[in-house]
Amino acid sequence: MSVLATSISGREVAKGLLVLQILNGFGFSFKADREPVPRPHVEADNNINSAAAEVKDPPMLIASPLDIKGRHFSSRTVMSPMVPNCAGEDGSVTDKYKNFYLARARARVGYIVLGGVFVHEDGKGFRQQLGIHSDALKPGLTDLAHTLGKHTRVGVQLSFKSLQKLPEHFTLVEIQRYRDAFVEAALRARDCGFDAVELHACHDYWLNYFLSPHFNHRTDEYGGSLENRFRLLREVTEGVREAVGDSMIIGVRLSMDEFVDDGLTLDETLLAGRWLEGLGVDYISASGGIGKTQDRMSPPMEVPRGSLLQFSKALKANVSIPVIGVGRLDRPDVYRDAVESGAADLAAVGRSLIADPEYVAKVLDGRDKEIRPCLACNFCLVCLHRNENVQCAVNPYVGRDLLKVEPLKDPLRVVVVGAGPAGLSAAAVAARRGARVRLIERERIPGGMLNAGKVPPNKEVIQDLIDHLVAQAEASGVEIITGHAATPSDIQSLSPDRVIVATGSTSIAVRAEGLDNNDRVVLNEDLLRFGLVLEGMSYIVVGAGAGGLEAAQYIAESGGKVTVIEMTRTLGKGLHATRLGLILRDLEKLNVRVMPGTKLLSVDGGRVEAETAEGRVSLGPFDSIVMAVGYKSEKQLARDLASEFPVATIGDAMQPRSIYEAVKEGLDAAISLDSPGASEIAG
């Protein structure tokens, strides 16, 4: 990276002054440091190929093959069952669905389990879930099984989502009907050429409902003792085995612990595991959690990696059939170690394969540095729970998984302004297409707002993304110029064919009496980037969106005292429930006072007047008033350039949003530099 200008930009001077102001306001005299956040920037690889050349010794166990029921698995790697929610509304296979899996199958996943495939229309949980409930779907399923089967072993997770209807409300006739539906679905799976069926007996699905004392309050032979609660799963397993014969693999996925007081515990699921082995089940997949403890099922960044492996390990000690382990094995070392350490016979990843379809291949080859890192942000689950196609914050190719980025017809000169995720993403793809790309960044380090976003507790994963995006841009040949705020005349002097403006946004403050020229006011972004927290000082954070809550967490963990006020009743807007729940729990532990429905009216020195449903309240005094109320796009440069150059404005510069839009619009801008710039190859 080169530094064109060593002079400090006006904006940085303002920030430096702000730091001094704040610290002076606290009675301290510090030297303003213009380098944000004392975290070292890890220099990225210059070249993807050189990273590829650095191949480690092949990991022994995870790469070793395995035979189950005479079927050969090329490695111990598994794609965990996930509903991508992009099948037809009638449950049929679509190209999008097929390509989503094909991209992963080609990249050497040893075993793919198609997520939550419904066996009966009454058990359909998502609008675009895949179905296996009707013979009419068989041609599409057969094609899918054959297409994926050329590359890997494929199983169908047979599922029935019992929406809001608890076990006690099922009549014996209904039990018989849906049990039969599992058996018929398994037969279809066999006829279509799949290697395995996996019974979905976890995560609030029907078979889990019956097994779990938390959900099952029946008093007949299907409720009460574990033996009775297991009855339905036993009957389904026996029915499926009888129907499909001995050569097809049958797996079962269990929530080994439901993490609720009256739920399934390990003692019971270990026993159930032994019973399943006795019934001829060929493997057990050891998951955890239910809907209300989803933070254990798909652990967000707040939960340590590998937290569910204790269950696969315990199960392995109790059964002799293969056990699959799962749960945030999202970095290569943790992934390899899951099998290497003996915690699991096979190791499954879900979100890591959404974020990078080649996660498994790269892990097997030791190409760790090339992996596009999953952030465990659960934006994919936000999409699913909105009943939309699953998308990924860091992988803009999801939903167009076989997109081929074509070389440009003419070698265009492209200037990209701003090295946040949008600019980095655009620059890398444009350069890969053959453009001569200069990426100009005002700050001394790339990453944009992510340099503030990575600071709160548990968010170090964001640095992994910055490193990845920078490595991709550099490997593609982008010239990255840092420490220079691009002006219209800079751009004119470079005479580019295209300009991509990715200048991002800046934090805004609310307007209220007493805020102007109040030296206690600090923007959320600056608080984080400059680490403006002093132990024992008191802070009020205005705004309890994701940014406000994370800032409060950061302040409290750094020893500050915090109150958060939020005008609306909504906390943590945009965060998935798994993250929000854990952040709120953490704030409570840290004695942070969170006040929804509280509107800032005025400030007098450090005292804050606010309005609540109960009337006016006076809060404080506070040493610092942190603004976390929103952002404003930086559009001026785009406006100045629009009459002279073809300009594309992307990411927060277009509208303040999130990493997802930034990275996606970066890709879109690069593939539309000329048209058509890319083509979707059907699998």
Ligand X SMILES: Cc1cc2nc3c(=O)[nH]c(=O)nc-3n(C[C@H](O)[C@H](O)[C@H](O)COP(=O)(O)O)c2cc1C
Ligand Y SMILES: Cc1cc2nc3c(=O)[nH]c(=O)nc-3n(C[C@H](O)[C@H](O)[C@H](O)COP(=O)(O)OP(=O)(O)OC[C@H]3O[C@@H](n4cnc5c(N)ncnc54)[C@H](O)[C@@H]3O)c2cc1C
**Longest CA span, the chain:** 82
Is there binding between residue 375 and ligand SF4 (CB under 6 A)? yes
Q: Which stretch binds ligand SF4 (CB under 6 A): 312-320, 321-329, 378-386, 520-528?
A: 378-386
Residue 513 DSSP class: B
How many of the other CB atoms lie within 10 Å of CB of 38? 8
With CA atoms as reference, report the closest residue to 663 among 417, 385, 529, 466.
Answer: 466
Q: How many residues bind ligand SF4 (CB under 6 A)?
A: 13
User: Residue 589 to residues 307, 454, 556, 593: CA-CA distances in angstroms?
Assistant: 21, 22, 10, 10
Residues with catalytic annotation? 205
Residues 461-490: x where in contact with ligand SF4 by CB under 6 A, - otherwise, as a string: ------------------------------
Q: Which stretch binds ligand SF4 (CB under 6 A): 211-219, 269-277, 368-376, 661-669?
A: 368-376
Of residues 362-421, those binding ligand Y (CB under 6 A): 377, 393, 417-421
Q: Please, which residue, 79 or 355, has the CB nearer to ligand SF4? A: 355
Indicate which of ligand SF4, ligand Y, ligand X, none lies near residue 444 (CB less than 5 to 8 Å, by partner kind): none
Q: Are 377 and 579 in contact (CB under 8 A)?
A: yes
Q: Which stretch binds ligand X (CB under 6 A): 275-283, 326-334, 393-401, 509-517?
A: 326-334
Indicate which of ligand X, ligand SF4, ligand Y, none lies near residue 392 (CB less than 5 to 8 Å, by partner kind): ligand SF4
Closest CB 419 distance from ligand Y, rounded Å: 5
The owner of tokens 């006040």 is: 595
Indicate which of ligand SF4, ligand X, ligand Y, none lies near residue 80 (CB less than 5 to 8 Å, by partner kind): ligand X
Q: Are 496 and 450 in contact (CB under 8 A)?
A: no
Indicate which of ligand X, ligand SF4, ligand Y, none lies near residue 75 (CB less than 5 to 8 Å, by partner kind): none
How many of the other CB atoms lie within 10 Å of CB of 309? 23
Indicate which of ligand X, ligand SF4, ligand Y, none lies near residue 349 (CB less than 5 to 8 Å, by partner kind): ligand X
Is there binding between residue 448 and ligand Y (CB under 6 A)? yes
Structure-token pair, residue 553: 């967490």
Q: Please, which residue, 23 or 461, has the CB nearer to ligand SF4? A: 461
Q: Please, which residue, 80 or 503, has the CB nearer to ligand Y? A: 503
Among 209, 335, 379, 622, binds ligand SF4 (CB under 6 A): 379
Is there binding between residue 485 and ligand Y (CB under 6 A)? yes
With CA atoms as reference, report the closest residue to 440 among 637, 665, 226.
Answer: 637
Structure-token pair, residue 50: 């050189």
Q: Please, which residue, 137 or 363, has the CB nearer to ligand SF4? A: 363
Q: Please, which residue, 123 or 420, has the CB nearer to ligand X? A: 123
Residues 105-144: x where in contact with ligand X by CB under 6 A, - otherwise, as a string: ----------xx----------------------------
Is there binding between residue 576 and ligand X (CB under 6 A)? no
Indicate which of ligand Y, ligand SF4, ligand X, none lies near residue 200 (CB less than 5 to 8 Å, by partner kind): ligand X
Torsion sign (Cα): 278, 281, 283, 286: negative
Q: Are 506 and 626 in contact (CB under 8 A)?
A: no
Among 129, 269, 378, 458, binds ligand SF4 (CB under 6 A): 378
Q: Which stretch binds ligand X (CB under 6 A): 14-22, 200-208, 426-434, 539-547?
A: 200-208
| Cα distance between residue 288 and residue 294, in whole Å | 9
Query: Helix, strand, or coil here: 36?
Result: coil
Indicate which of ligand SF4, ligand X, ligand Y, none lies near residue 583 (CB less than 5 to 8 Å, by partner kind): none
Closest CB 190 distance from ligand SF4, rounded Å: 31
| Cα distance between residue 99 and residue 667, in whole Å | 19
Closest CB 115 distance from ligand X, rounded Å: 3
The residue length of the chain stands at: 683
Residue 135 DSSP class: G
Secondary element (H or E) of residue 542: strand 538-542
| Cα distance between residue 659 and residue 424, in whole Å | 12
| Cα distance between residue 248 and residue 154, in whole Å | 11
- Beta-bridged to residue 626, according to DSSP, are 522, 541
How many of the other CB atoms lie within 10 Å of CB of 668? 18
Is there binding between residue 334 and ligand SF4 (CB under 6 A)? no
| Cα distance between residue 140 and residue 553, in whole Å | 49
Among 114, 355, 402, 439, binds ligand SF4 (CB under 6 A): 355
Q: Return the HEC string of 254-319.
A: EECCCCCCCCCCHHHHHHHHHHHHHCCCCEEEEECCCHHHHHHHCCCCCCCCCCCHHHHHHHHCCC
Is there binding between residue 374 and ligand SF4 (CB under 6 A)? yes
Indicate which of ligand SF4, ligand Y, ligand X, none lies near residue 355 (CB less than 5 to 8 Å, by partner kind): ligand SF4
Of residues 275-294, those binding ligand X (CB under 6 A): 287
| Cα distance between residue 198 and residue 253, in whole Å | 7
Is there binding between residue 651 and ligand Y (CB under 6 A)? yes
Is there binding between residue 250 and ligand SF4 (CB under 6 A)? no
Of residues 212-231, those binding ligand X (CB under 6 A): none
Of residues 393-452, those binding ligand SF4 (CB under 6 A): 393-394
Give the full edge-to-edge strand order of the sheet including 413-417. 2-3, 479-482, 436-440, 413-417, 498-501, 647-649
DSSP string spanning 614-627?
TEEEEE---SEEEE
Q: Please, which residue, 103 or 450, has the CB nearer to ligand Y? A: 450
Closest CB 660 distance from ligand SF4, rounded Å: 7
Is there binding between residue 390 and ligand X (CB under 6 A)? yes
User: Residue 518 to residues 154, 481, 514, 538, 555: CA-CA distances in angstroms?
Assistant: 63, 35, 7, 16, 20
Q: Which stretch binds ligand X (CB under 6 A): 14-22, 242-250, 379-387, 670-678?
A: 379-387
Q: Are 201 and 208 in contact (CB under 8 A)?
A: yes
| Cα distance between residue 426 and residue 443, in whole Å | 18
Among 119, 158, 286, 376, binds ligand SF4 (CB under 6 A): 376
Of residues 654-673, those binding ligand Y (CB under 6 A): 657-660, 662
The residue ranges that bind ligand Y (CB under 6 A) are: 377, 393, 417-423, 440-443, 448-450, 452-453, 485-486, 502-505, 524-525, 528, 547, 634, 637, 651-653, 657-660, 662
The residue ranges that bind ligand SF4 (CB under 6 A) are: 351, 354-355, 374-380, 392-394
The residue ranges that bind ligand X (CB under 6 A) are: 80-83, 115-116, 157, 200, 202-203, 253, 287, 297-298, 326-329, 349-352, 380-381, 384, 390
